[in-house]
Amino acid sequence: MQVNFELFEKYQSAIRDYRGPQGDPQSASLRMHRNGELVVYYAPLEWVSPTAKLVLVDATPWKAQADIALTEAHRALLEGAPVPEVLRRASLAAAFAGVTRQRVVALLDHIGVHQWLGLGSSADLFGKAGDLLQVSSVLQFPVFKNGENFRAGWHPERDPMLRLQMKNHFGKMVKAMPEAVFIPVGAAASRGVEWLTKEGFLNKERVLHGLPHPRKEEPDRTAYFLGEKDRADLDKGTHPDKIDAAHDYLRSAVAALE
């Protein structure tokens, strides 16, 4: 799939003016759409890896990720990098940045993704084997509600503006990657991917649901999935039976991949 640079070109001047950490991902110069309390902002995250075998799908970039992408794109532009390289660098820098990336790697290794792809560790997907990985979101650009980060309890498929966002950006990308394996990370991403699958954008045989999101607000799900915490020590509402089922399904599904 060839990346469309129209949006980047539209917001390039705002990126050149972006000054992290003083920069604001919710600046009016980056605003794309608004529907009541929901606002979509641009961040340079539309890079697509043409050789990706695995697509990790988040719900939407949070403010911190948008800031990282904008800061890296600003730096790359100052260095004179061509637009494709600017987008590649920005997307890679923001992809599950910080401690979250370490936990995502642990989750992927735990279900055997590194073995499927012939890697020593899934950490290589964020480095020397980066051509095998695409990190994206069902809502490709940052969405905020009353200025706050998108939360797992939201249902993007219920809002007409967000449905359009899913179709016009992530939906177009996935249609061009019919052979890739898609793993939604967290419940909100799964709901979006499920809706897009019903709409005909994805082949359900290439989607593996059930991976928890390692966000710091809900640590028990990931810890239990990885065997780091006992069932008796879990917070209420963690639903260990569901996690057990997802764990067993994902390990067997990844082992069956060719």
pLDDT (tens place) for every residue of the chain, 258 residues total: 556 789 999 999 999 999 866 789 999 999 999 988 899 999 999 998 888 999 999 999 999 999 999 999 999 999 999 999 999 999 999 999 888 999 999 999 999 999 999 999 999 999 999 999 999 999 999 999 999 987 757 788 888 999 999 999 999 888 878 789 999 999 889 999 999 999 999 999 999 999 999 877 678 999 999 999 999 988 888 889 999 999 999 999 999 998
Please tell me the predicted confidence (pLDDT) of residue 175. Answer: 80
Cα distances from 38 to residues 65, 174, 194, 215, 238, in angstroms, run 18, 24, 22, 22, 28
In this prediction the pTM is 0.92
User: Three-state SS for 5?
Assistant: coil
Which region holds residue 169: left if phi is over 0, alpha if psi is between -120 and 50, else beta? alpha
User: In this structure, are residues 69 and 61 in contact, taking their beta carbons and an 8 Å threshold?
Assistant: yes
Residue 244 included in any domain: yes
Instruction: Name the residue among 130, 145, 239, 136 with its Cα closest to residue 183.
Output: 136
Please tell me the predicted confidence (pLDDT) of residue 173. Answer: 87
Distance between CA atoms of 93 and 95, rounded to whole angstroms? 6
Residue 186 included in any domain: yes
Distance between CA atoms of 184 and 207, rounded to whole angstroms? 8
Residue 224 included in any domain: yes
A 10 A CB-CB count for 247 gives 20
Which CATH number fits the domain that encloses residue 41? 3.40.470
Please tell me the predicted confidence (pLDDT) of residue 176. Answer: 77
Please tell me the predicted confidence (pLDDT) of residue 98. Answer: 86
Range of the domain at 192: 6-255
**Dihedrals phi, psi of 144, to nearest 5 degrees:** -125, 145
- Provide the residue type at 217 as one letter: E
Residue 22 included in any domain: yes
Distance between CA atoms of 163 and 156, rounded to whole angstroms? 7
Residue/partner pairs of 111-115 with CB below 8 Å, 24 or more apart: 111/211, 111/247, 111/250, 111/251, 111/254, 112/251, 112/254, 112/255, 113/54, 113/254, 115/254, 115/255
Residue 1 included in any domain: no
Domain count for the chain, please give it.
1
